[in-house]
Amino acid sequence: MGGSNYYPHETHTDISLSTFSYSRHCPGLPAALDLPTGDGPALPTLQLSTGYFSGGARVFGPETSSQPRSFTLLPSSVARTANASLLHVSATLAVSGVRRQLRHGLGGRNLFEYDGQARHFRPRLPRFTGRRGSITFGLEGYYSTASGELCMVGTGSGRAADGKPVHFLPVVLRLGFPSPANLTQSFVTGRLESVDTISPIEPVSLVAYAEEGYAYAESASCPPPPAGRLDALQVFEGRNFSCAYLSSMLKQPFRLDYHSGSESTASSLGLQLRYMYVNRLQCKDDGAIRAYVAFTNQTEASRYYFMLGEKAVVADGFWDGQRSRLCLKGCHVVNSGPSRADLAVGECGIGMSFWFPAVWSLQQRSFASGLVWNTSLKSGEVIAAGSSAITPNYRGNLAGLKYNYTKVDEAMKHYEKSGLNKNRKGKFPDSSTYRDLVFRFFVQKGGGSGYASPVTIGSMLFDGNSMVVPDPFSHHVTTEMKQRLINVSYDIYYVGNWSLESFHRRHISAEGVYDTKTGSLCMIACRVLNDSSDCEILVTAQFSSLDAKTAQHVKGTIRSLRKKTDPLFFETLDIASYGMYPDQVDESIWRMDLESTMALISMTLACIFIAVQLFHVNKVPEALPAMSITMLVVLALGYMIPLVLNFEALFKNSNKQTFPLAGGGWLEVNEVMVRIITMITFLLQLRLLQLAWSARSVDVSKAESWAAERKVLWICLPLYIIGGVITWVVHMRFNHSRRMLRQVVQIKPVGHAFWEDLVSYGGLVLDGFLLPQVILNAFSDSKVRALSPGFYIGSTMIRALPHVYDVFRRKHFVPSLRPSYMYANPHDDLFSLAWDIVIPCGAILLSVVLFFQQRLGGGFFLCFKSRKTREYEMVSTISS
């Protein structure tokens, strides 16, 4: 951007009307004294909610299609003056160019990254470095009601496109408001100029669609709609006309259909573009409407910004309440100067009409339809337009909408031919469970993913998660719900294979039959291509049963019915969905709440059992030197490591989202309580370790005690090290987890860290925490009751119960790709069918051995060997 010499903050500190003369830059509108506030006719607001600007690239950055330039003018006060034709105006002008600077885009190969803390993949979103190319100006000046001119001066601050701050940038704003605005004078135009003589910036041209003071022309006339387009939905039936309601229904882009017979119309209007956007819409209470319509090839554009498009039209007309359609007549928008913002109205003679079809089908599934024609042509040719299916987040009345199935018979033939009618065990989703028939999928080969949701099930229409039908419990609907084969239609949105090169979302319309007894779906689908459509596509899917305990939710295919030599043929796409049914999701949430409570209870009991041991050593002083220091260190580490790993989460919980679970518990509160109790338990364990160490140090037989402890270390430490080495070998050999996600995103697999496997192995060491004590008792041949039964039996149960619960969980809950475990977490211990048997049995065995050691002596299980040795020694002595 050529250095920083053009940033005015280096030479200016403050500018006001006293030093920066208004009269110098706005001589045509001389300043006048304000009049006291009083009653009078309403004053114009002079507000511009959004507009476009060009120029000023050094400060606002280059113009890109993905980041449209925009500005807003928001007056804070408009006052009368002594000059009847002048109004004193104070306003804020916000100008935004390159709104954010990306650190990296989506051009790289890795579209996903691995979240180590959450242990799952997430999209690699662009990183933002802050708001740039945006400056806000505080302006003051005067507006002429006679000429429609506005001239204001002031200063602005913000951040340039290169990230450098801009302070007190002096400017003058000149705007021309059409007075009055009408069809041929629809735009507010002007310029924003820097008046800094030391380091000026490039002038900026502004344009916006006029928002007030509009004079409507004579009513437009609408020709009869073409055959097959006569049924229009009565969107305002039983309610008053609403501009906001109508605008929300027209906000989706319209795809233009240049069918045979519309060539002369398209040629005369200069239209060969794919999409039409009703970008601005203004109305009166009586149904008078005016609009700014843009034409472009962009599939995704924000209607919240003022669009220039490759072509544009301004139009006005009315809402025909009887026919429930919008009728407009319009004029071309032309460029009147060197800047893109220099817009003017050109030739007229354009007719436009919009309505909302009352009947949908596979190929006619537009939520809103429209026509564009040349009023000077007598041939009656029109260009058809249609928007996508139900507008996202639309909350309107669609009770009169119906669906006409046209491909069900063809789908039935493929359903029977492909063997989808074969019986399967289990209960499958039916027509009463709409949410169960919605699924996200990925393509197993070639990459890509998508989303499929029913549009209709039988005669029931679905708007998002809401069913749109006058009486869902009517006899006709109830009869449909009992049928085995149900007619269905779907909307499928897909990124990949056909569209991955541009990363644009594609839409597939499908309809066919669904078998409620086998969970099989068979549909004929249509996809829209650049200049045609392809309706020879077969979509099949098989749902898993509602009580299935597998992670795979749906398995199916999307394949072409054309011959391989056909240019529209494509290879079969195998799709799969890994997830859960909504009821299973609710069960999973309930499970998480249950596990959180179990973890809290488990840690509370562990704290109590240590307290029991502390009371025990007070009553039995000889128990302290008889306790294994190795065992106490292992237990202390078992409580310390989770605290270290969760240290940041414990003290920075405000960064996490709190949400209530279905069971009424608060997951985050339980997690915090578990960590607090873990810390208390750890401190109690340290106290027990300190007491045992101190008692061992002052014991009269401390030499023998430490010698036995060293023998314990010589046995346990190599066992622990060997186990760690085996863990490392297994980690290096089998670190290929999450293969399914790797197939989805097609990136190099990211294995979990070795320390995670090491933590799981540490859980196994904790499960055998009694091993050092058993070995110590064996070497010392002690009968001292070093451990309280409440401590070692209770602690053994705490270590064994997670494995018992894991068996229950495997049987009763559906696993997910990204499971969240609050209790019996596989990252904290070793869990599998084999480990769930071996570990509890081993822990109980150690507990039983310790029980007999404290009653029969530490070497009771070696008694036969000991007696044999002593007898051999006696015989040897007598013989001598």
d(CA 486, CA 523): 12
H or E stretch at 474: none
Q: What is the predicted pLDDT for the residue at 743?
A: 40
The answer for residues whose C-beta is within 8 angstroms of residue 375's C-beta and 6 or more apart is 329, 349, 350, 351
Q: How far apart are CA 100 and CA 63, in angstroms?
A: 13
Contact criterion met (CB below 8 Å) for 265 and 377: yes
| Residue 541 to residue 520: CA distance in whole angstroms | 6
Q: What is the pLDDT of residues 575-598, one digit of tens each?
A: 888 766 666 666 777 778 788 888
* Token pair of 215 as six digits: 């004079």
Distances (CA, A) of 210 to 71, 180, 350, 548: 14, 10, 20, 60
Question: At residue 393, does pLDDT exceed 70?
Answer: no
What does R_g of the chain's alpha carbons equal in angstroms? 38
Q: Over range 770-785, report the average pLDDT.
A: 87
Helix axis angle for 702-733 and 754-767, nearest 10°, is: 140
User: Which pLDDT value is given to residue 781?
Assistant: 79
SS3 at position 546: coil
| Residue with token string 């199916």 | 556
Instruction: Report residue 688's pLDDT band, with 50, 70 and 90 as the boundaries.
Output: very high
What is the predicted pLDDT for the residue at 748?
Answer: 38
CB contact at 8 A, 830 and 764? yes
**In the structure, what pLDDT confidence band is assigned to residue 108 with cuts at 50, 70 and 90?**
very low
Mean pLDDT value across residues 348-377: 89
Taking 70 as the threshold, does the pLDDT of residue 701 lie above it?
no
* Mean pLDDT of the residues in the chain: 79
DSSP H or E run through 331: strand 325-335
Q: What percent of the chain has pLDDT over 90?
A: 30
Residue 657's CB is within 10 A of a number of other CB atoms, namely 5
- Give the least confident one: 40-49, 125-134, 292-301: 125-134
| Cβ atoms 207, 175 nearer than 8 A | no
Among 370, 321, 323, 320, which residue's Cα sits nearest to residue 350? Answer: 370
215, 225, 376 from 268: Cα distances, Å:
28, 20, 10
Weakest-pLDDT range from 308-317, 655-664, 666-675: 655-664
The structure tokens 């050109």 sit at 346
Tokens read off for 114: 């691995």
Q: Could you say which DSSP state residue 435 is in?
A: G
Written as one letter, the residue type at 365 is R
Q: Which of 189, 194, 150, 175 has its CA nearest to residue 60?
A: 194
| Count of Cβ atoms closer than 10 Å to residue 812 Cβ | 10
Task: Output the CATH code of domain 22-98+128-209.
Answer: 2.40.128
Q: Is 738 left (phi over 0), alpha (psi -120 to 50) or beta?
A: left
Q: Is 85 within 8 Å of 146 (Cβ atoms)?
A: yes
CB 9 within 8 A of CB 167: yes
pLDDT of residue 476: 54
CA nearest neighbour of 360 among 170, 465, 491: 491
Taking the CA atoms of residue 108, residue 114, residue 120 and residue 121 in that order, the dihedral angle to the nearest 10 degrees is 0
The residue among 179, 190, 238 whose CA lies nearest residue 51 is 190
Which residues are CB-contacts of 20 (< 8 A; sequence separation ≥ 6)? 153, 155, 170, 195
For residue 741, name the pLDDT band (cuts at 50, 70, 90): very low
The count of C-alpha atoms lying within 13 angstroms of the C-alpha of 584, restricted to the half-sphere facing its C-beta, is: 24
In CATH, what class is 405-579? mainly beta
Number of Cβ within a 10 Å radius of residue 559? 18
Span 681-707, average pLDDT = 84
What the block records as the tokens of 846 is 């150690």
Residue 714, SS3?
Answer: helix
pLDDT at residue 461 in the model: 81
Return d(Cα 652, Cα 164) in angstroms, integer: 33
Rounded Cα gap, residues 576 and 580, in angstroms: 13
Pure H helices in 734-813: 739-745, 754-767, 771-780, 789-812
Task: Please give the model's pTM, rounded to 2 decimal places.
Answer: 0.67
Predicted confidence (pLDDT) at residue 300 exceeds the cutoff of 80: no
Domain boundaries, the chain: 22-98+128-209, 243-387, 405-579, 584-647+671-741+751-814+830-856
Please indicate whether residue 461 or residue 701 has the higher confidence score (pLDDT): 461
* Choice between 37 and 688, residue whose per-residue pLDDT is larger: 688
Percent of the chain at pLDDT exceeding 70: 77
Q: Whose structure tokens read 């004579």? A: 218
More confident residue, 655 or 179: 179
Alpha helix segments (H runs only) across 121-270: 243-249, 263-269
| Per-residue pLDDT tens over the stretch 198-230 | 667 889 999 999 999 899 887 766 766 554 455
pLDDT in tens, 417-436: 888 878 888 888 877 777 78
Going 642 to 645 to 649 to 652, the CA torsion angle's sign is positive
Least confident of 655-659, 674-678, 790-794, 844-848: 655-659
Task: Compute the distance between CA of residue 556 and CA of residue 510 in angstroms, rounded to an integer.
Answer: 14
Burial 366-404 (b: 16+ CB within 10 A, else e): bbbbbbbbbeeeeeebbbbbbbbbbbeeeebbbebbebe
Q: Which residues contact 118 (CB under 8 A, 6 or more apart)?
A: 818
Report strand pairing: 359-360 vs 402-403. parallel
Give the max Cα distance, the chain: 139
Amino acid 408: pLDDT: 94
- Checking if the pLDDT of 873 tops 70, the result is no
What average pLDDT score do residues 555-567 get?
91
Which range has the top average pLDDT, 12-21, 208-217, 570-579? 208-217
Give CA–CA dist 621/601, Å, rounded.
30
Answer yes or no: is pLDDT of 117 > 50.
no
> Are 455 and 403 spatial neighbours (Cβ–Cβ below 8 Å)?
yes
pLDDT per position as a tens digit, 478-536: 566 568 899 999 999 887 655 444 456 778 899 999 998 888 999 999 988 766 788 99
Residue whose entry in the numeric block shows the structure tokens 């998508």 = 450
Contacts of 734 (CB under 8 A, 6+ apart): none
Contact between 16 and 153 under an 8 Å Cβ cutoff? The reply is no
Residues 689-709 have a mean pLDDT of 80
pLDDT of residue 783: 81
Copy the structure tokens of residue 206. 């502004």
Beta bridge partners of 136: 94, 157
Continuous segment of H or E residues that includes residue 874:
helix 863-879
List, in order, residues 6 or more apart from 753 with CB less than 8 Å away: 116
Contacts of 804 (CB under 8 A, 6+ apart): 836, 840
Q: Pick 304 or 537 by higher pLDDT.
A: 537
Tell whether the model's pLDDT for residue 673 goes beyond 90.
no
Q: Which residue has the higher pLDDT, 469 or 826?
A: 826
Secondary structure of residue 68 in the 3-state scheme: coil
- Whether the per-residue pLDDT at 63 is higher than 60: the answer is yes
Reported as a single tens digit per residue, the pLDDT across 725-739 is 888 888 777 654 434
Q: How confident is the model at residue 464 (pLDDT cuts 50, 70, 90)?
A: low
pLDDT given for residue 653 in this prediction: 44
CB-based contacts of 545: which residues, under 8 Å, 6+ apart? 424, 425, 426, 427, 428, 519
Token readout for 770 is 């009694």
Judged by average pLDDT, the poorest of 34-38, 203-207, 766-770 is 34-38
Q: Return the structure tokens found at 799.
A: 């270590």
More confidently predicted of 479 and 267: 267
**Beta-strand relationship, 70-80 and 86-96:** antiparallel
Distance from C-alpha of 354 to C-alpha of 254, rounded to nearest angstrom:
10
Q: What does the alpha-carbon distance between residue 262 and residue 260 come to, in Å, rounded to a whole number?
A: 6
Confidence class of residue 642 from pLDDT cuts 50, 70 and 90?
Answer: confident
Fold match flag (22-98+128-209 vs 405-579): yes
For residue 828, the model assigns a pLDDT of 79
- pLDDT band at residue 468 under the 50/70/90 scheme: low
pLDDT at 191 over 90: yes
